[in-house]
Amino acid sequence: MIAAMSLLTLTSIAHVELDHDWGLDHGTWTIIRHMYPEAKVPVLQLSIDHTKGPQYHYELAKELYALRKKGVLIVGSGNMVHNLRMVAWDKMLEPEYGYDWALNINDQFKELIATGNYQRLINYESLGREAQLAIPTPEHYLPLMYTLGAGGSDQVSFFNDKAVGGSLTMTSVKFG
C-alpha cells in the first residue's frame, strides 16, 4: 500500500486515483502469476491513457523511478512488435518464427534501448515501415515507455528474445 500512496502523491503530470472495482488486465496477471504463483504480493496496475503519446508516458515513468529506487517492482507488460492482423497462425508452434521486418525492427529496438537512444523509440513513428507494421496500434508498445523511463541509467539486459507467429516478439527488457 505504500507504493499506492506514494504514487498518488508522486506524479506531477498525471491525475492518479485508486479504483478497487476494475480488476487486473491480462497484461498484468499473465506476467505476475508466473513471477508470484502464490499471489502473496501487492499489485498496483496503472492504466494507459490512450489520449496521450509516448513522450507523456515516458515522462510519467521517469517520475516512477523514485518508487523503483524504494524497492517497488515496475513491470511494463506489452510487446515491442505486436501485429495480430499479420500473425501466421499456422506457424505459431514453430520455434522463433518471425517475418524479416519483425526481426529487423526488433533488433533495431534492442539497439536503441542498449545505446540509450530513447528519443527515437519515443518517436517510433519516424522509424519507417517496419515500425509501422510492428506497432499498428500503440497499446502494446507504450508499456515499453514505462520500462525505459523507470529504468534510469541502470544496466540493461534482454531476455525471452523470441519471435512468435511471424509478427510478434516476446523480447523482454530488464534494468538493474
Which CATH number does the domain housing residue 114 bear? 3.40.830.10
Residue 76 is predicted with a pLDDT of 87
Q: By mean pLDDT, which of 21-25, 139-143, 171-175 is the weakest?
A: 21-25
Domain of residue 12, residue span: 2-175
What average pLDDT does the segment 113-122 reach?
97
CB-based contact 140:79 (threshold 8 Å): yes
Provide mean pLDDT across the span 135-151: 94
Higher-scoring residue by pLDDT: 169, 40 = 169
Strand extents, DSSP E, the chain: 156-159, 163-164, 168-169, 172-175
Q: How far apart are CA 52 and CA 32, in angstroms?
A: 26
Of the candidates 58, 38, 30, the residue with the CA atom closest to the CA atom of residue 119: 58
Q: Provide the pLDDT for residue 1.
A: 44
49-93 pLDDT tens trace: 899 999 999 999 998 888 888 888 888 888 999 999 999 999 999
Domain count, the chain: 1
pLDDT of residue 72: 85
pTM score of the predicted model: 0.87
